[in-house]
């Protein structure tokens, strides 16, 4: 199965003068952002998706855990439990993730990202097997591979799993990405999309330097700009999707990024703002950058990642957090209906 192109119903490639806005309605920052970037909703709350009309949606164990603890979503979990009463917990969890994915895909026109269990982050074979099972469940529901991205932690083992999955026509979203070495390895592995975590990078630098940063010196923003420039300069088809935002200022500082996945709270803020939005990332400009192309084998990847204290710490912390929420979700699924 071929990779989805950045065309058709994807985001426009360049600025447009408020196309699609009619009458005298105010043009919000969210609408202006759509001129440059594909807007993605970062949520498991499918009931709220229609409000902001995202192209794609992303989920993770933390978002699903938060959703199933709400009364309006408990029924979906109980439905999965009742339908598969003899299934082991890992199968129940995957079927619940796919059930949420199905509901989301009923609403959005694009793709949903579904997380592979973070407990498998250091096993290539186990990650591949779990990813293939998730895609089997989607296939049973009549959903093809072009509508699903499987989220995998950007460890060396995860990236190698994604390499194998992409060759088999299963598209991947490499997540928990904090360091440039991770981005380079993902591009060389031929993954469909990466999710650099802007806000968590900023969190680390705030804590370690004891100060705040303007948006133009924000380490998370600068990280995504660097990756975007590298990918466009060397013609990598891998899409860049900024994630984990702390403010609308961070989001607007990345206008022009291929995709941005945004929480409902920040989508609402953008939808309430009537401010100009300028393109900050431009593929034509990026292609002129004078930068060096890198090549990382496993030892070089591990060394470069180890040299980046922020990326090393945040990757480990992120995996632990997702694992903790996955275990809590297992506990809920283990209860009798």
Decide if 8 is inside a domain: no
How far from 174 is each of 17, 57, 75, 138, CA to CA, in Å?
A: 33, 15, 30, 19
Residue tagged 């996955």 (tokens): 326
Q: What is the pLDDT of residue 24?
A: 53
Q: Which residues pair with 194 in a beta bridge?
A: 174, 240
Annotated catalytic residue, options 19, 151, 232, 336:
151
Task: Please give the residue range of the domain that contains residue 70.
Answer: 38-334
Provide φ and ψ at 42, rounded to 5°: -100, 85
Q: What is the pTM of this model?
A: 0.91
What is the distance between the alpha carbons of residues 257 and 263, in angstroms, rounded to a whole number? 17
Going from the C-alpha of 295 to that of each of 153, 196, 259, 292, the distances in angstroms are 20, 19, 25, 10
Residue 32 lies in a domain: no
Dist CA 31 CA 332 (whole Å): 39
Q: Evaluate whether residue 3 is within a structural domain.
A: no
- Domain count of the chain? 1
Q: Is residue 30 part of a domain?
A: no
Evaluate whether residue 1 is within a structural domain. no
> Which pLDDT tens digits describe the chain residue by residue (337 residues)?
333 333 333 443 333 334 334 445 679 999 999 999 999 999 988 888 888 889 999 998 898 999 999 898 889 999 999 999 999 999 999 999 999 999 999 999 999 999 999 999 999 999 999 999 999 999 999 999 999 999 999 999 999 999 999 999 999 999 999 999 999 999 999 999 999 999 999 999 999 999 999 999 999 999 999 999 999 999 999 999 999 999 999 999 999 999 999 999 999 999 999 999 999 999 999 999 999 999 999 999 999 999 999 999 999 999 999 999 999 999 999 986 5
CATH number for position 238: 3.20.20.70
Report the run of H or E that residue 122 belongs to, with start and end: none
Query: What is the predicted pLDDT for the residue at 336?
Result: 64
Residue 21: inside a domain, yes or no? no
Token reading at 175: 């997540």
Structural domain contains residue 13 = no
Please, which residues have CB within 8 angstroms of residue 198's CB and are 6 or more apart in sequence?
A: 218, 220, 221, 223, 224, 242, 243, 244, 245, 246, 250, 254
Q: What pLDDT shows up at residue 5?
A: 36
Whether residue 280 lies in the annotated active site: no
Which own/partner contact pairs does 199-202 have at CB distance under 8 Å and 24+ positions apart?
Answer: 199/244, 199/245, 199/246, 199/250, 200/244, 200/314, 200/318, 201/310, 201/314, 202/246, 202/250
Please check whether residue 264 lies inside any domain of the structure.
yes
Residues 59-69 as b/e (b if ≥16 CB within 10 A, e otherwise) read: bbbbbbbebbe
């Amino acid at each position: 199965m071929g990779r989805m192109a950045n065309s058709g119903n994807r985001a426009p490639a360049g600025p447009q003068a408020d196309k699609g806005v009619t009458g005298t309605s105010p043009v919000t920052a969210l609408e202006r952002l759509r001129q440059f970037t594909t807007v993605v909703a970062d949520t498991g709350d499918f009931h709220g998706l229609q409000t902001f009309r995202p192209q794609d949606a992303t989920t993770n164990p933390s978002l699903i855990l938060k959703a199933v603890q709400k009364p309006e979503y408990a029924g979906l979990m109980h439905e999965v439990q009742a339908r598969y009463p003899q299934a082991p917990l890992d199968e129940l969890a995957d079927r619940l993730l796919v059930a949420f994915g199905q509901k989301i895909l009923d609403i959005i026109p694009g793709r949903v990202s579904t997380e592979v269990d973070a407990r498998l982050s250091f096993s290539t074979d186990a990650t591949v097997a779990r990813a293939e099972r998730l895609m089997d469940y989607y296939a049973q529901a009549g959903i093809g591979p072009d509508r699903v991205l499987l989220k995998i932690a950007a460890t060396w083992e995860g990236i190698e799993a994604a390499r194998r999955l992409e060759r088999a026509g299963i598209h991947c979203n490499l997540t928990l990405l904090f360091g440039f070495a991770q981005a380079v390895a993902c591009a060389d592995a031929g993954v469909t999309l990466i999710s650099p975590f802007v806000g968590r990078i900023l969190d680390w630098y705030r804590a370690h330097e004891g100060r705040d940063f303007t948006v133009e010196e924000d380490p998370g923003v600068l990280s995504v700009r660097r990756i975007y420039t590298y990918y466009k300069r060397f013609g990598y088809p891998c899409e860049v999707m900024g994630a984990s935002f702390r403010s609308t200022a961070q989001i607007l500082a990345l206008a022009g990024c291929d995709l941005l996945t945004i929480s409902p709270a920040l989508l609402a803020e953008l939808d309430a703002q009537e401010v100009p939005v300028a393109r900050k990332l431009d593929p034509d400009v990026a292609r002129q950058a004078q930068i060096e192309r890198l090549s990382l084998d496993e030892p070089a990847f591990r060394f470069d990642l180890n040299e980046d204290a922020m990326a090393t710490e945040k990757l480990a912390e992120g995996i632990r957090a997702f694992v903790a929420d996955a275990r809590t979700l297992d506990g809920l699924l283990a209860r009798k209906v």
